[in-house]
Structure 1
């Protein structure tokens, strides 16, 4: 057997990446970040002005505000970026908003499927996901700043069997940089200590499809043939170069918060200690009301912000957490999802799928209930979570998830900016109104299409601390109002439009506003699944 030496030091990647190349990465928050390689590219550009004019292609948000793709956020190093989310990448958000880079924002799920379909030799991928949103070429075509709007959209509207779809065009890849735990001499890669599988195999195969080069950063380097075949995630036939980190603690961290914890891979199971009980405030009120939309055995997706921070803890407090199935778009199923810069992983997950496979399930309407945040909502039920003023954070997996879930529950405070509330004797009092309205006449960007939801008869709720709305064929309808809240002063006067509502509006359940538990478990267990 001919011995092939694929091992290089980090500076060797500079001989592989050329000016103008398209560089693909695979990561989720800091998970999968190849810091040795990314730091080398950054240092070379700052010192030698090369490589430069790169196109950066990535499916998920891939930073912890400092590392990951933030290493490449320099004017001129990358001149075109194609991704889904930059909420934890402030330097990228700034470059995009200041029009210093051509920026295309596509949905996370479709980017994972684009990698897979490019690997199969296809010219792109198609889906209904994105119709009616800013990704639709009839709106913005995913072009989120002027530089991008001066160019062609990467998305086309097509018709197949008399139905509308969006076609996401291929993006040929010159080089990809991926991560594993162990490589053998031939380049077979295992991921035993990685928190996620991500879309690494698809990206590697897509890169080879375009005759590109595949670089893998690992912690361990072993003799060829010693890795269990079924543990190999990326075969050596797809790998050109291997970089072995010399400082795993710093440059090959499992997550932003830890170098390695077997609980995040599912190899060890943490004791079932539940989640910390939260004190009663406006956010917990929203979480409690949201939880009342659940039923036994529901497959659930939690978005970041209020949903991720409150729904799980409320379920734990009420003793129903084990009765539902929490999932994360990154591929984790079961366990307890983490938030912040560790969003994307779970403590003690029961399964970890490839990124694209999770989105297969999501796009196939596998999610029973998704809980998502909301920044702006209009009278047609459209929601914006991707653009705030001039700053684009991106949509992440929001579009794939919300357009395809059986039920969508948006969770957010009624107003934003210095909102203060008080809860006393099972009633809510707005002691200081927020500075900014969320129910507005016009959105900065459409991330969720009310029209699309209406056309597929999707169940959509908008839950706040003081009111609950439902999306109907006629428009947004006020369904419930919190005890202690004045309809005119606290609701209608804080909206740019008047919702539909009846003369009598139901009062939200008082147990939501109590300091003790709701004692909701018995009622929950009596609920039936919608198809029963």
Structure 2
């Protein structure tokens, strides 16, 4: 076709009964609302099409009828395979009641499934979902008994367990862009996200299906710059120009130029958050941010961490990301979630999940709704309420460090905050720390077996997951452990003498995190554990610039072990350490001298593969040196050695 522009009604007529339909979008960004409305309207008027299968990765809706809930009419949809259901309550309720067949799979798995369908593969093989409710041994992702087919199976690959998610042909792709030319070439210059539009278009095309794209403007054929085209016209069958009310940039913003990545918002424009429970939790989580690292922040409570990082001057020292493809900048919140301002890059969603699944995240901060004594977390299912996992499983299973964030109880919780203290004024009606979670969205047993560091942060206390269970490690000043914590839990945590949470968290003033995290004095970087006789040396984010810095580190180590009269084992943290090339020989000589005189066994670690390689080159001239990728691995090597 030389001109692929059609009306919304004619586009809806291309969808036939029994088709498998895929749609683009993340919350309200990139959702083809005009096409979804036209499809719903056609069914209401004609009773066609019927019995559709709907396949989507990210949640697409506002919880009030927009997005995929436009298709929640009896008979229109027969089965749904989706990543996040919380924003489409009508379809969710139909799935829970068994009126439609429903499956909840990890968002990143479905995102990768689009690519694999396009490539003609039989499905997607992944470790993501093992030991969660997606695992066939724990339900196979089924929402109700109406979903009888086995769409995911447990397999052995090279002697290792994996999940195999079955591919299915896609007959119709309902997508969205910004500008189309008459030949069907699509650009996305005003969209907040790229998402999986190209992969979905290829999957539909290679399945023998049709690709329909909603845009907000149409130009002459051949007039779009080739490098700006995201979906080539060769893949597109029909283009529909949508009215502005059905083509908002997100469900909270009709258009925000900063979400496009083409413009930068002025720094420091946002007012600080008010000191409430949400900010208290976000502040404690911010203490865990890895300076120089890559971080994912989940929806809900974790959104506040980016605001605290901005207030504390840390945004330029961490790379915040969001699963639909945002890298850098400050993620937006609410119905803008998924978009971001002042980004460094916006990539395809499936590529973001490549990075996440491979262990690229130094840390993630995610919400939590239920936690049990094994460290299992549920965020996906609560009786008749179907929230769905979204990207939670991909992210939580693969991040190098996980911080779960949420209030200690829910429903009516109120507290007095100020002067470095927190007092519970009214307890929440619902407990979050319970005997057993309803659904396992995160497996504590798997995390413990893989030695994944896991923390649970609330407004009144902090827990850590360790091999023997959940440990209570910190308590807020003003909180009574028996009355406010232990009596409100469905299991008994393990505890000794919990530390007090930092009083700055509960004071309405900047905490000074930037200075503290970037300028830690040597006296606080070196610690001798007298019980285990292990010397912990924290060189994280430290710059070793000259011979004076080398000498200072040597002197600090010597002072820490002075008078012992015997060697000590050492664990050294090199996360994001910078050693000037001019003094690498001096550094290696100093380290060798300490090993000869003071150390027994020594292990080192860094999350940066580049730094591990460079550090190995620096030290290996003297002896064989192994630098591990995590503290847990370094400690394990010390024990095994």
Scaled to the shorter chain, the TM-score interval is: over 0.9
| Partner SS state of residue 69, structure 2 | helix
**What is residue 78 of structure 1 aligned with on the other side?**
77
Q: Deviations over 1:399-418 (max 9, x none)?
A: 00010001000011111111
1:261 aligns with 2:256: yes
**What is residue 134 of structure 2 aligned with on the other side?**
135
C-alpha distance in 1 between matches for 2:278 and 2:41: 43
Q: Deviations over 1:321-354 (max 9, x none)?
A: 2211110101011222111111110022221000
Query: Are 2:253 and 2:336, in contact at CA under 8 Å, matched by a contact in 1?
Result: no
Query: Are 2:132 and 2:442, in contact at CA under 8 Å, matched by a contact in 1?
Result: yes
Which stretch shifts more, 93-102 or 167-176?
93-102
1:189 aligns with 2:167: no
Residue pairs, 1:83-162, within 5 angstroms: 83-148=82-147, 151-162=148-159
Alignment CA distance shift 1:228-1:425 (3 Å): closer
Query: Are 1:300 and 1:368, in contact at CA under 8 Å, matched by a contact in 2?
Result: yes
Q: TM-score, with normalisation over the residues of structure 2?
A: 0.80
| Partner SS state of residue 469, structure 1 | strand
Query: Are 1:136 and 1:166, in contact at CA under 8 Å, matched by a contact in 2?
Result: yes
Query: Are 1:294 and 1:524, in contact at CA under 8 Å, matched by a contact in 2?
Result: no
1:482 aligns with 2:479: no
C-alpha distance in 2 between matches for 1:189 and 1:131: 37
**What is residue 394 of structure 1 aligned with on the other side?**
388
Aligned residues: 524
Query: Are 1:88 and 1:341, in contact at CA under 8 Å, matched by a contact in 2?
Result: no
**What is residue 200 of structure 2 aligned with on the other side?**
203
Q: List gaps (5 residues or longer) in structure 1.
A: none
**What is residue 252 of structure 1 aligned with on the other side?**
247
**What is residue 493 of structure 1 aligned with on the other side?**
487
Residue pairs, 1:159-174, within 5 angstroms: 159-174=156-171
Give the counterpart of 1:522 among 505, 511, 515.
515
| Partner SS state of residue 110, structure 1 | helix
Alignment CA distance shift 1:15-1:283 (3 Å): closer
C-alpha distance in 2 between matches for 1:318 and 1:192: 32
C-alpha distance in 2 between matches for 1:509 and 1:36: 50
Shift of 1:389: 2.0
**What is residue 609 of structure 2 aligned with on the other side?**
none
Which stretch shifts more, 12-21 or 52-61?
12-21
Bigger Rg, which one: 2
Residue pairs, 1:82-481, within 5 angstroms: 82-148=81-147, 151-245=148-242, 247=243, 249-308=244-303, 310-481=304-475
Ranges of 4+ aligned residues in structure 1 off by more than 6 Å = none
1:37 aligns with 2:35: yes
Shift of 1:5: 3.2
| Partner SS state of residue 197, structure 1 | coil
Q: Deviations over 1:347-374 (max 9, x none)?
A: 2222100010111111111111111110
Query: Are 1:295 and 1:525, in contact at CA under 8 Å, matched by a contact in 2?
Result: no
Alignment CA distance shift 1:319-1:5 (3 Å): closer
Shift of 1:424: 4.1
Give the counterpart of 1:54 among 52, 55, 61.
52
Shift of 1:219: 2.1
Shift of 1:94: 2.0
C-alpha distance in 2 between matches for 1:217 and 1:307: 32
Q: Deviations over 1:157-187 (max 9, x none)?
A: 1111111111111021111111111222221
Give the counterpart of 2:22 among 17, 24, 29.
24
C-alpha distance in 1 between matches for 2:180 and 2:419: 61
Query: Are 1:181 and 1:194, in contact at CA under 8 Å, matched by a contact in 2?
Result: yes
C-alpha distance in 2 between matches for 1:526 and 1:103: 52
Shift of 1:146: 2.1
C-alpha distance in 2 between matches for 1:236 and 1:522: 52
Query: Are 1:276 and 1:313, in contact at CA under 8 Å, matched by a contact in 2?
Result: no
Shift of 1:274: 4.6
Alignment CA distance shift 1:36-1:513 (3 Å): closer
Q: CA RMSD in A?
A: 1.4
Q: Deviations over 1:376-424 (max 9, x none)?
A: 0011100000112221110000000010001000011111111111124
Shift of 1:4: 2.9
C-alpha distance in 1 between matches for 2:305 and 2:34: 37
C-alpha distance in 1 between matches for 2:418 and 2:187: 55
Alignment CA distance shift 1:285-1:257 (3 Å): closer
Query: Are 1:469 and 1:480, in contact at CA under 8 Å, matched by a contact in 2?
Result: yes
Q: List gaps (5 residues or longer) in structure 2.
A: 521-539, 542-574, 576-604, 607-641
Give the counterpart of 2:505 among 506, 512, 530.
512
Alignment CA distance shift 1:38-1:424 (3 Å): closer
| Partner SS state of residue 441, structure 1 | coil
Which stretch shifts more, 271-280 or 10-19?
271-280
Shift of 1:523: 1.4
1:8 aligns with 2:38: no
Query: Are 2:24 and 2:32, in contact at CA under 8 Å, matched by a contact in 1?
Result: no
Query: Are 1:50 and 1:77, in contact at CA under 8 Å, matched by a contact in 2?
Result: yes
Shift of 1:225: 2.1
Shift of 1:426: 1.7
Q: TM-score, with normalisation over the residues of structure 1?
A: 0.96
